[in-house]
Structure 1
Amino acid sequence: MNDRAGTPATADDLVDLDALLAAYHERVPDVSIPEQKVVFGTSGHRGSSLDTAFNDTHIAAITQAIVEYRTQQGTDGPLFIGRDTHALSAPAEQTALQVLAANGVRVLADAQDGFVPTPALSHAIIAYNRAGNTDTADGIVITPSHNPPRDGGFKYNPPHGGPADSDATSWIADRANAIIAGGNAEVRRQDATTAEGYDYLGSYVADLEHIIDIDAIKRAGVRIGADPLGGASLPYWERIRDHYGLDLTVVNPEVDPRWAFMTLDWDGKIRMDPSSASAMASVVARKDEFDVLTGNDADSDRHGIVTPDGGLMNPNHYLAVAIEYLYAHRPEWRDDAAIGKTLVSSSIIDRVAESLGRRLWEVPVGFKWFVPGLIDGSVAFGGEESAGASFLRKDGTAWTTDKDGIILALLASEIIAVTGKTPSQLYTELTERFGAPVYQRVDAAASKEQKARLSKLDGDAITADTLAGDPITAKLSKAPGNDAAVGGVKVVTDRAWFAARPSGTEDVYKIYAESFVGQEHLEQVQREAKEIVDAALGA
């Protein structure tokens, strides 16, 4: 934890926007250097122009690759495009629009040339493709999510509306790198752009009453504070307030691509993470002014929930409360609709699922795994420990297949309106029934070779048979829900678990751990987890 975590940013913390934007246009990547290649993680390609990792050359090549991929897949309809408030998002959108125009792709961009939250774009793709059109739409979201102001991000959402799977992203990344290696000679591009206007804001906000009980919130007079954290949700919260007549205050209406108003995150960087107590310090300071106070990241796919009695909720705690509430208050959902969670999310969700008589669908890290279930209604809720989730409409049909921080924030108000209790109070009640877990993620050093071995490690390579004094009941290298590789291992006992996964950006591996016994037991789990993993890696 940095000494300045949670304190206001100073001038020295701010990115030089002129240098950032100049680097976007001037620097040309060399894809023989790994750090300058196109690499799609769980949420698209991310990087900074200052590191020659997110530049005009990259975006032109990625867009050309997407054009070729969608043609190959038979995707012949419009491409929805939107950007967040990061400084690199606007020039990246312009680059993409020029390439899309030259390739003859019909593009739908925001009608007001405004910012577009990730969930609003996913919502638009789903709406178009279920409307009986003879062609098929897909989309591009330009965002690095909650990453620092120096970063940019570029993400492809295919016709299902959610994050592209690894087959698609691998093909796009490989093709883009080949194009860059050829000096972008294969990129078709023109100066003029031909995008049509689409009302993302109006379409999304007007449809919210079909997924959230807005009337209950209004009748109860819930006092809502919403902080967009300088992100794309700002005009959406303002429109939600005006359209539905809610007692809603946008507590910070400022948009600044340097994010000068933020408090620093745990590592001393500016990062718009609504689940971080350090990044949300200025928001939490106002918790007593509202019945609920919420935050979103730059592209609005994450949520933070602040209550007067509990402060900033741990994302795992809120997911558990949201799941129990929704499955009890959405009678039109299928009786067999499962509860989706990533395997590093809290196992209190497992206990809630069992009490509800619902099937738990546990998948690897990455929201893309929830997409098929959300599309066909077989999974009514999908959530990640990193404060990302989405769920079905009241009638059991798909709303978004990408994370939606706006509906998760609004759901907190519905919960208060209907139950008369805050989500924090409801979580306390869950712990009284199921126990109070202690959860933490820590990092451990690992070489690139060790990380590569960990990503392919089989559960059978774990030789230990006990963890923190308890018999090990499962050693998982594949997720129970869909048998997909987890890119690491998860070790489970009746009272605790840990999971180890390699970092995609640093020479460390991540240890997620949880104990239903207490803090000392958790620390024992963490110590033994490192010993178990190091032994399996031959460290």
Structure 2
Amino acid sequence: MQLPLYSGIRLEPVKTIDIDVITKDFFTKIPDPLILEQRVKFGTSGHRGISLDASFTMRHVVAITQAVVEYRRMAGITGPIFVGNDTHILSILSLQVVLSVLLRAGCEVHIDKYAVYTPTPAISRAIIRHNREHSHQADGLIITPSHNPPEDGGIKYNPTHGGPAGTEATAFIERRANEILESKAEPSIFMLADKPHTSPLLKAVDICVGYVEDLSKVIDIQTIKESGVRLAVDPMGGASGHYWQVIKNIYGLNIKIVNPVTDPHFSFIPPDEDGIVRMDCSSAFSMASLIEYMKQHKQDIGVANDPDGDRHGIVLPGHGLISPNLFLAIAANYLITHRANWTRNAGIGKTVVTSDIISQVAKQHSYFVDDTPVGFKWFVNGLHSSELMFAGEESSGATFADMNGDCWTTDKDGILLCLLAAEIMAKTGMTILEYGESIGLSAPHYVRKTYPISPEKIAALKGITPEMFKGKVIAGGRVEQAFTEAPGRRGAHIGGVKVRLDNGWFAFRPSGTEPVYKIYAESTLSRKHRDQLVEEVNRIIEYMLP
């Protein structure tokens, strides 16, 4: 594949998006519920879209928030609802809309009194903390399209367990929100309050400092401090920036925030492999600025988070971005061997498109593996009940139990994983890769590739069945197994197909958040064979599509 000219090259600050146009479209465009792309659709992490094509507008946000209000009533949720948002322009615009709808409905709303932006893991932690101490249970709304491009918008709901909502909740919210969009009898619902911040139901509470202070329950902060590990942090223009400053101030860690800028243009982010700007800390292209910084400055480790702080990226000087799958395996092994109070014979959660090396680590230490579809919602019950001590996915999202084996968060926590990387270095006296080598772990021959797809072809892609691959030889490997249901303890459709060969595996699925499909592949032979496998699988898919 020929890369776009500017892939991985840092852009000079320019207007990558037109804020005025995005804002105007957000407030004025009226989605047509008869057009599939303009309906509310909860993917792997809430509803996402853009205002330019009327797939994410003020009306979507009103309808989704009102549907959440009705779901709370149906579910008997009577506590406060925590609201957080990241730094995308549509997140900033949507915050006032969400507050207006919630307050008009009589909900008690909690926002952070210390930070303008609140990352996903802080909301998850706040829900869990509140619900351990109060009988009136809380839930949360997080306004974010995660790592998606600057023009994108998103909103997701975390119920009382603190993690991404399950299928039952999202099905209700999606259905009811679309009914609201379709209804001509409810025009007043789109009339917003002028000054939601004056409502007595809106409470400014401590979310940030409480989260940061609790980090000492899950990370060996003292060892990091005593070691003097030099940590370069790139919040990638996102909500974690203020949190990292508070971490530095409270604990006195040797932290250098290399890019403190918050700008919804995100013009300081290099384009991804396909030329599109994404704040994706699992991509070496998007992380090019931090990788270059680490070459020129004396820092021991570089870390980054995406705009809502639920993903992590780890960079070493002289090496670059560590393979996300490798770091997950190293992290799991370190935690199992350095958390004396963790439940023995507990579980490790991974998605079916995550590398097999995580399974190998789990089995080595007699932990069971919960192999799930893509989406962190599949880990929530296991994390909340402390059945799972660690859960992670290949896109650099993970969380784990605290020092006592109790639930920390039920959503991804990128800040946590970055601090864990510092702890590993501080505790072992080795770099992340040196520690990995000492326990026999090295980067797998793994890759994830993304390809554009039109909406009308997504249905055809979903129609490809495992039977189409049985008995075949692909890239020199004989098909041993093909399936669409995750082999984990909760078993569910994976949203695509996974095929195991006698020399590796591959999987493909449409994205739940972008008009693309993804191919994942891992070879037991070599990188060359891995690339050959991806090319052949993509040719097969293109042949099968109309």
Contact 2:436 2:442 in 1 (8 A): no
Q: What residue in structure 2 maps to residue 166 of structure 1?
A: 167
Cα shift readout 1:448-481 (whole Å, capped 9, x = no counterpart): 5664354365534432254444443322211111
Q: What residue in structure 1 maps to residue 471 of structure 2?
A: 464
Q: What residue in structure 1 maps to residue 533 of structure 2?
A: 525
| Counterparts of 2:516 and 2:381, CA distance in 1 | 32
CA RMSD, Structure 1 to Structure 2 (Å):
2.2
Cα shift readout 1:106-135 (whole Å, capped 9, x = no counterpart): 11011146110000000000111111x121
Contact 2:330 2:441 in 1 (8 A): no
| Counterparts of 1:2 and 1:505, CA distance in 2 | 22
| Counterparts of 1:8 and 1:493, CA distance in 2 | 39
Tell me the amino acid that sits aligned with residue 318 of structure 1: F
Contact 1:336 1:378 in 2 (8 A): no
Please give the secondary structure, in 1, of the residue aligned with 2:102. helix
Q: What residue in structure 1 maps to residue 51 of structure 2?
A: 49
Once the two structures are TM-superposed, the CA of residue 350 in structure 1 deviates from its matched residue by: 1.9
Q: What residue in structure 1 maps to residue 493 of structure 2?
A: 485
Give 1:267's match in structure 2, choosing from 253, 259, 274: 274
Unpaired segments of 5 or more residues in structure 2? Answer: none
Cα shift readout 1:310-335 (whole Å, capped 9, x = no counterpart): 21112111111111111111111111
Contact 1:66 1:172 in 2 (8 A): yes
Contact 2:326 2:441 in 1 (8 A): no
| Counterparts of 1:211 and 1:506, CA distance in 2 | 34
Once the two structures are TM-superposed, the CA of residue 538 in structure 1 deviates from its matched residue by: 7.7
Q: What residue in structure 1 maps to residue 193 of structure 2?
A: 190
Once the two structures are TM-superposed, the CA of residue 219 in structure 1 deviates from its matched residue by: 1.2
TM-score of the aligned structures, taking structure 2 as reference length: 0.93
Residues 533 and 4 from structure 1, CA distance in 2 versus in 1: closer, same or farther, beyond 3 angstroms?
closer
Once the two structures are TM-superposed, the CA of residue 95 in structure 1 deviates from its matched residue by: 0.7
Q: Is 1:373–2:375 an aligned residue pair?
A: no
| Counterparts of 1:413 and 1:113, CA distance in 2 | 24
Residues 216 and 112 from structure 1, CA distance in 2 versus in 1: closer, same or farther, beyond 3 angstroms?
closer
Once the two structures are TM-superposed, the CA of residue 500 in structure 1 deviates from its matched residue by: 1.7
Q: 1:301-380 to 2 correspondence within 5 Å?
A: 301-380=310-389
| Counterparts of 1:298 and 1:247, CA distance in 2 | 23
| Counterparts of 2:130 and 2:443, CA distance in 1 | 44
Once the two structures are TM-superposed, the CA of residue 153 in structure 1 deviates from its matched residue by: 1.1
Q: Is 1:295–2:304 an aligned residue pair?
A: yes
Name the count of aligned residue pairs: 535
Give 2:401's match in structure 1, choosing from 387, 392, 399: 392
| Counterparts of 1:117 and 1:448, CA distance in 2 | 31
Q: 1:208-223 to 2 correspondence within 5 Å?
A: 208-223=215-230
Contact 2:461 2:545 in 1 (8 A): no
Once the two structures are TM-superposed, the CA of residue 100 in structure 1 deviates from its matched residue by: 0.8
Which range moves more in the overlay, 167-176 or 208-217? 167-176
Q: 1:13-412 to 2 correspondence within 5 Å?
A: 14-112=16-114, 114-131=116-133, 133-183=134-184, 184-185=186-187, 187=189, 189-193=192-196, 194=199, 195-288=202-295, 289-412=298-421
Once the two structures are TM-superposed, the CA of residue 522 in structure 1 deviates from its matched residue by: 1.5
TM-score of the aligned structures, taking structure 1 as reference length: 0.94
| Counterparts of 1:268 and 1:141, CA distance in 2 | 28
Which range moves more in the overlay, 9-18 or 472-481? 9-18
Once the two structures are TM-superposed, the CA of residue 446 in structure 1 deviates from its matched residue by: 6.5
| Counterparts of 2:114 and 2:515, CA distance in 1 | 43
Tell me the amino acid that sits aligned with residue 462 of structure 1: F
Unpaired segments of 5 or more residues in structure 1? Answer: none
| Counterparts of 2:504 and 2:322, CA distance in 1 | 21
| Counterparts of 1:412 and 1:487, CA distance in 2 | 32
Please give the secondary structure, in 2, of the residue aligned with 1:322. helix
Once the two structures are TM-superposed, the CA of residue 262 in structure 1 deviates from its matched residue by: 2.0
| Counterparts of 1:372 and 1:453, CA distance in 2 | 32
Q: 1:430-509 to 2 correspondence within 5 Å?
A: 433=440, 437-443=444-450, 451-455=458-462, 457-481=464-488, 482-504=490-512, 509=517
Please give the secondary structure, in 2, of the residue aligned with 1:472. strand
| Counterparts of 2:361 and 2:28, CA distance in 1 | 53
Contact 1:464 1:532 in 2 (8 A): no
Indicate the percent of aligned positions where both proteins have the same amino acid: 46
Residues 435 and 236 from structure 1, CA distance in 2 versus in 1: closer, same or farther, beyond 3 angstroms?
closer
Please give the secondary structure, in 1, of the residue aligned with 2:40. coil
| Counterparts of 1:453 and 1:3, CA distance in 2 | 32
| Counterparts of 1:531 and 1:5, CA distance in 2 | 24
| Counterparts of 2:414 and 2:516, CA distance in 1 | 29
